[in-house]
Amino acid sequence: MTGTLINAVTVLIGSGLGTVLGGRLPARVRETVIHGLGLMTIVIGMEMAFSSANVLILLGSILVGGMLGEWWGIEAGLNRLGSWLEARVSAATKDAQSTQDALDARQRFIQGYVTASLVFCVGPLTIVGSIQDGLTGDYTLLAIKSMLDGFAALAFSASLGIGVAFAVITILVYQGGLSLAAAQAEAFLTEPMITEMTAAGGVLIMGLGISSLLQLREIRVGNYLPALVIAPGVVAVLTALGLPVTPF
Tell me the per-residue pLDDT of 214-240, one tens digit each, with 9 for 90 and over: 888 888 888 888 998 899 899 999 998
Dist CA 211 CA 218 (whole Å):
5
Dist CA 105 CA 108 (whole Å):
5
Q: What share of the chain is helix, strand, coil (3-state, %, to 5)?
A: 80, 0, 20
Residue 12 lies in a domain: yes
Residue 248 lies in a domain: no
Determine the structural domain holding residue 52 and report its residue range: 2-240
**Residue 140 above 50 pLDDT?**
yes
- At 87 the pLDDT is 64
Residue 245 lies in a domain: no
Dist CA 226 CA 232 (whole Å):
11
58 with 199: CB under 8 angstroms? yes
**Residue 90 above 60 pLDDT?**
no
Q: What's the whole-model pTM score?
A: 0.70
Residue 246 lies in a domain: no
CA torsion sign for 232, 233, 238, 239 is positive
Domains in the chain: how many in total? 1
- At 96 the pLDDT is 46
Q: Name the amino acid, one letter, at 44.
A: I
